[in-house]
Chains A and B, each alone.
Chain A
Amino acid sequence: MLDNLSLIFDYTLIHATIRASTPILFAALAAIITQQADILNIGTEGIMLFGAFTAVTVSYFTGSWILALIMSMVVGLIIAAIMGFAHLKYKADIMVVGMAINMLALALTRFLLNEFLNTSGSFYSDQIIAFPKLKFDFLSKNPVINSLFNNYSLFEIVGIIMVVVLWYILYKTVWGLRLRSVGLFPMAAETAGINVYKRKFEVMLYSGLLGGLAGAHLSLGYSNLFAENMTNGRGFMGVAAMFFGGGNPILSWIGCLIFGLTDSIGSRLQSYGLPSQFILMIPYIATVAILAISLARKLRSEEKMKSSL
């Protein structure tokens, strides 16, 4: 078992963790930005699926990943705009809108897969140009360094940068301050002359851009194909991660990493004959447990602060 252990916990786990957490991370970022304006965007799942489909299609037909990226973000934007109208202008419950968009995405991408790409189930081809990988020859000499620092997909790195950027924007800029006030207390924002409606709409659009990007990463970065329902709950996991971090990009990222890490460990543990279902549960249980324990500890220390003794 000991030599097995070293096969499970070795340095390749780090790259695997980042790889496994990135799709969820992008979904979480898309959810965070609307949540800061008090909009629970569970349509991320659907937007991602649209994005993934668009990216593959555009990349296949044009051979340009840049164009694919742009188009998938545009599609995300359009879907988000529809959601924004339905929710903000026509007062549809945002959860319903999100779920309807998810259903629509599933059905429509399947339909378009048949119509446009003349296939069903999944679509792959040599003509699909993937997002570039950050490959540096000088790093590839040592296998450890190679695994740790080389061969990242472009958006695995961009994702990490975006966590920091979004954190900065939310907590250090005027825009972020106003956005948070809209989410926390819209009346206060309104009386400060901030147009709450516009602000909410704006972040819906950004969320669409991020969701489109998340989808494109799924189909061109994480893999190089499109499959029906390829998001497979990753958008929902993003929402869960957003709640894990209470809307804070950095804490949410930590949530994603915990999930990614335990998921990767699980993938390796499976090979040793434990019932697969229990292994597959690990990431979910671990995430809940860590969240619960950390909050319980926080509460306990607050209690202590309040004591009069």
Chain B
Amino acid sequence: MTKNQYLNTLFTIIISLLVGGVVIIFMGFNPIEAYIQLFKGAFAGKFNFGGTLERFVPLLLTALAFAVSAKVAVFNVGVEGELYLGAIAAAWAGYSIVGLPKGVHIIICIGFAMVVGSLWAAIPGLLKAYYKVNEVCTTILLNYVAIFFTSYLVNNPLSAKTGVPQTPNMESTALLSKILKPSRANTGLFIAIAVLILVYWLVQHTTIGYKLRSVGLNPNYSDYMGFNAKRTMVIGMMMSGAIGGLAGAIEVMGIYGHFLDNFSPGIAFDGMLASLIARNNIKMIPVLALFLAVLKSGALGMERFTGVPKSLVDAIIAMFILLAAMEGLFMIKKWKKNKSSKIDAAKADI
């Protein structure tokens, strides 16, 4: 990021706050109070800050999952489904296997979730690579299948039979330890950060990453080099699915302790949003994931302790995101050049 871009970001934030403030005043509330509660809701005290971290982890992982598939030029809208399947796989391994030491049990749960997530992601991957079936179409549709399938499992064979649509509670050996009690932030945070670093290293500094990026940018070159573009594409999708599955596993192992029917309200779509705003740049993803996590937990604070209705808070957040995406908004220096580079831009689009 250049100095200009930082300025641009700053301007965008200020403008968003101003516009949001005007709306809040217009509705008859105090914007300063509202923003203070937003800030407190995200950062003040262990409970709130923990709440932010708790939301940050799945956002980071699902954003990463999306970015990895984007490296092989697959638009994986299916991370949500992988998250669900990973979650239920981890939950099952967590309650049905007993008597393992903690570390081993956690690894088994995570491993199983990642395998399930990657196998699920392999389906649209294979269809795209070998039959040119559009992956946006298949992943949108397969999300529903995954969610209904977990719903079937949790209400039938894997049900805890307690009246709540959830699996039995996992063994304590399968649970991730909490940090920052009473919030539910947990050691999954460190797993997520480790995965972030690992993925960054893998993509940027290894032969595997070279192949993945190469396939995404030019599959013909890859085939010619002997990387097998199709297979690599499927591998990239499977990596993406594994990370999505991991995100689900951490949710159940760190937060709920069991799989809960319909537990995700579209976490992976928020993750996708983070990745898209970061333009799939892995280095920028944690920043954007944190940004969204802060907005989400801050919004809860604003809703709890001011009279601003939840729906208005949500609308203001949507507006923040819209403005954040408009990178051209304050590129003052670029305005003049815009004219001469219009075709360059068109070219860049191709």
Contact = CB atoms under 8 A, between A and B. Distances in A.
Contact between chain A and chain B defined by CB under 8 Å = yes
Interface stretch (B36-44, B193-201, B245-253, B321-329): B321-329
A86 B322 contact: yes
A28 B141 CA distance: 14
A281 B155 CA distance: 15
A91 B328 contact: yes
A40 B349 CA distance: 13
Interface stretch (B83-91, B94-102, B143-151, B206-214): B143-151
Contacts of A90: 326-329
Interface in A100-138: 100-101, 103-104, 106-108, 110-111, 114
B346 A186 contact: yes
A158 interface: no
B1 interface: no
Contacts of B269: 99
Interface of A: 38, 40, 86, 89-93, 95-97, 99-101, 103-104, 106-108, 110-111, 114, 185-187, 190, 196-197, 233, 236-237, 239-241, 243-244, 246, 275, 277-278, 280-281, 284-285, 287-288, 291-292, 295-296, 299
Interface stretch (B53-61, B112-120, B168-176, B273-281): B273-281
B140 interface: yes
B149 A96 contact: no
21 contacts: A90-B327, A92-B327, A96-B277, A99-B272, A100-B321, A103-B317, A108-B315, A111-B312, A111-B315, A186-B346, A196-B346, A233-B144, A236-B140, A240-B136, A241-B137, A243-B134, A244-B137, A246-B134, A281-B149, A284-B141, A285-B141
Contacts of A278: 148, 152
A277 B273 contact: no
A280 B151 CA distance: 11
Given A86-B322, A190-B346, A284-B142, A107 B328 contact: no
Contact of B326 (A91, A101, A284, A292): A91
A96 B311 contact: no
Nearest to A82: B322
Contacts of A187: 343, 346-347, 350
Interface in B262-319: 269, 272-273, 276-277, 279, 309, 311-315, 317-319
A239 B328 contact: no
Nearest to A277: B152
Contacts of B148: 277-278, 280-281
Task: Classify the secondary structure of B's interface with A.
Answer: helix
B19 interface: no
Contacts of A287: 141
B133 A292 contact: yes
A164 B196 CA distance: 49
A302 to B, nearest CB: 11
A110 B319 CA distance: 15
Given A92-B327, A107-B318, 14 more contacts: A38-B349, A86-B326, A91-B327, A93-B277, A96-B276, A99-B269, A99-B273, A233-B144, A239-B140, A241-B137, A244-B134, A244-B137, A288-B142, A291-B133
A240 B139 CA distance: 9
Task: Classify the secondary structure of A's interface with B.
Answer: helix
Contacts of B329: 90
B28 to A, nearest CB: 11
B312 A89 contact: no
Given A107-B315, A237-B140, A281-B149, A92 B322 contact: yes
Contacts of B272: 95, 99
A158 B149 CA distance: 36
A98 B311 CA distance: 19
Contacts of A40: 136
A92 B155 CA distance: 42
Nearest to B330: A90
Interface in B105-142: 127, 131-134, 136-138, 140-142
A14 B350 CA distance: 43
A288 B327 CA distance: 36
A284 B149 CA distance: 12
A93 B276 contact: yes
A285 B272 CA distance: 23
